[in-house]
Amino acid sequence: MKVEKLCNFYASKYHLGLILLEYFNLKKIKKYKTITFIQDELEKEIELIKKHYCNIDAIKDIDFKTTENIYDKEICSEKNIIFIVEGNLDYIKKANEYILDSVENSSNIKIINCHNFARQKNFMSDIINKNDKILYTTGEKVID
């Protein structure tokens, strides 16, 4: 299994929606299935973004509703999967453990862990050190 971990820090849920829209637009990731683990529902913000942007095809099939129970989320057996994980530190940790336990060994996965800046600012360096890249609005940056 090939795992690439990205972290993201967002100022608001609308900001997170814009970051994800730009990421999926820039990457043109069609060969990847996208699965979400969302603690704080993003659906309203995504709908607002869709009203203001013409090119929303990149995120149209992604479920931004709250994932009530991490362990009830079905993980498909696709070869290439992107996981978007949003929530507090405990939620993100549990979701990552579930993902790594559930994905097939032949899969290539990207896990994008999204952190609210205001809630996690005291833990930013620890979070960054546990990831391969940081996701910004302008794209990915490898962590040195």
Q: Which residues contact 36 (CB under 8 A, 6 or more apart)?
A: 62, 63, 64, 67, 83, 84, 85, 86
Q: Do you know the residue count of the chain? A: 144
Q: Are residues 54 and 21 in contact, defined by beta-carbon separation less than 8 angstroms? A: no
Mean pLDDT of the chain: 88
State residue 55's pLDDT score.
60
Q: Kindly report the backbone phi and psi dihedral angles of residue 115, in degrees, each rounded to the nearest multiple of 5, phi listed first.
A: -115, 135
39 vs 54, higher pLDDT: 39
pTM of the shown model: 0.90
Token pair for 81: 């999967």
Mean predicted confidence (pLDDT) in 77-89: 92
Question: What confidence tier does 137 reach under pLDDT thresholds 50, 70, 90?
Answer: confident
Judge whether residue 91 has pLDDT over 90. Answer: yes
Q: Give the whole-angstrom CA distance, residue 63 versus residue 8.
A: 18
The span from the CA of 89 to the CA of 51, in Å, is 31
* pLDDT top residue among 17 and 57: 17
